[in-house]
Amino acid sequence: MRKLVRRGRSGLDRAVFAAARAWPLSLVALGALLIAVVLLPTAAGIAAAVLVLVPGGVLLTTHLRGVRGRWAGHDFSPAETPFPHTEIGVPAAYPDARYVPLAGRGTALLSDEIDHAVRERRFAVRLDERPYRPAPRLRATAPHLPALRSAENPLFNGPVVGLRTDPLPGTGDAEVRLHRARYFDFQCTNELCGLRIADRESGAVFDPHRELLTDAAGRLRPLDTGELADVVGISTLAFTTDGLLVIVGDGDPSGSGSLEPRDLLTADGAPRGELGEVLRTGMERELREETGLARGSVAGTELTGFARWMERGAKPEFFGITRLSVSSASLHRDEVSFLEVDLATLSRELRTGSPLLDAPSLPQPIREHGSLPLLLAVRAAALR
């Protein structure tokens, strides 16, 4: 029953999402319905029907051509090649940045100096008044994305928050811009970069990495010049009082997900003014949702780092470490497991040049099954 409810809700979200982007059709249908109920079959009703349906039909035709013309002749399939990190330069504004490919997991853009800024610099928050809206050519991909039609993993068009400012190092306080978005906006923009998009007739391939992510100089676009939703990913590693790392599922961080609008507000509805506070709130919310922890079981969270996940449209990812006030004995649940991680030894190995996946002290379950957010969160925690 729960699966049926989830699939039904996912289907409703997709229908509403599609209807909102085909509003001329909805307008024509509503107008015809009102005319049929109120006026037909009078002469006035016939005249009104003509006045509504003729311009509405013209508008609908124009709209549908624009929506379907851009992508209707393309095939969408999962990309078989990794992000071309040797061909696309890092943003010029990112100090000492580098791509780090992790075999089988993905590619991250990392900067130790940006990690330090995330930990130490204060970034004030400014929320854009207008919600994010994808460009028409990106909205047109919605009917074609396989992920939106997944029966095995239903998706929901929930509210999320995107980032439009890079958290760069500097002196003094700085400001970052956030914007409200919906999860399907992320699917129609960032997630294109994980797909192979080929023209059915010519076989020509649309390269989202270069079309959507790269500037005129051949470098990755910084967030402040991007056009994608760039939804903020948040992941934290929770450690129990007996020193064990909490792992969720087969290889995910203790708490991991997306920043949401509710994370921007305090308990009494006042806006939070600082990015670190917003991120810690979101991380602890995700942690409680995924582990069933009570609010009082969380002793505090510290930010540890930042990355951009290249296979997902270079979306921003923030990492943290959370201290719990409970032991592992009180957290035994089917979806939760525990690991010993020697962060001090791992830090020494990484600082002396060992690649993360080759570091001897990295626990074998994380090496074999850890997701990209888990691996990056462990790295950031060790190097903090």
SS (H, E, C) 70-89: HHCCEEEEECCCCCCCCCCE
Q: How far apart are CA 250 and CA 300, in angstroms?
A: 25
Torsion of CA 26, 28, 30, 33, to 10 degrees: -140
Q: What is the pTM of this model?
A: 0.86
How high is the mean pLDDT in each 10-residue block of the chain (384 residues)?
58 60 55 55 59 59 55 83 94 97 96 98 97 86 62 80 98 97 93 90 91 96 96 98 95 96 96 97 97 92 98 97 95 87 98 97 96 98 95
Q: Is 292 helix (H, G, I), strand (E, B) or coil?
A: coil
Total count of residues recorded for the chain: 384
Contact 334, 248 (CB under 8 A): no
* pLDDT the model gives residue 108: 98
Which pLDDT score, from 0 to 100, does residue 144 have?
67
| Angle between helix 43-71 and 23-38 (nearest 10) | 160
Angle between helices 23-38 and 2-21 (to 10 degrees): 90
Check: CB of residue 318 under 8 Å from CB of residue 279.
Answer: yes
129: left (phi over 0), alpha (psi -120 to 50) or beta: alpha
Domain boundaries, the chain: 2-72, 86-135+160-181+216-384
Single-letter code of the amino acid located at 15: A
Detail the DSSP E strand segments found in the chain. 74-78, 98-102, 106-110, 123-127, 159-163, 174-182, 195-199, 205-206, 233-239, 245-248, 255-258, 298-309, 315-324, 336-339
Per-residue burial over 333-371, b = 16 or more CB atoms within 10 Å of its CB, e = otherwise: eeebbbeebebeebbebbeeeeebeebebbbeebeeebb
How does DSSP classify residue 92?
T
Cβ(110)–Cβ(94) under 8 Å?
no
The answer to whether 313 and 230 have CB atoms below 8 angstroms apart is yes
| Interior angle at CA 67, CA 78 and CA 226, nearest 5 | 65
Residues 6+ apart with CB under 8 A from 348: none
Here the tokens at position 133 are 């809206």
Tokens of 321: 């470490």
Cα–Cα nearest to 381, from 294, 301, 273, 269 = 301
The whole-angstrom separation of Cα 384 and Cα 382 is: 6
Q: Given this model, what pLDDT does residue 17 score?
A: 64
Inter-residue contact 233 to 316 (CB < 8 Å): yes
Distance separating alpha carbons of residues 99 and 365, to the nearest angstrom? 24
Two structure tokens written together for 343: 């962060």
Distances (CA, A) of 5 to 129, 150, 154, 345: 34, 15, 10, 47
Residue 129 is classified by DSSP as: S
The Cα 153–Cα 274 span in angstroms is 34
Q: How far apart are CA 122 and CA 110, in angstroms?
A: 20
295 C-beta neighbours (distance < 10 Å), count = 8
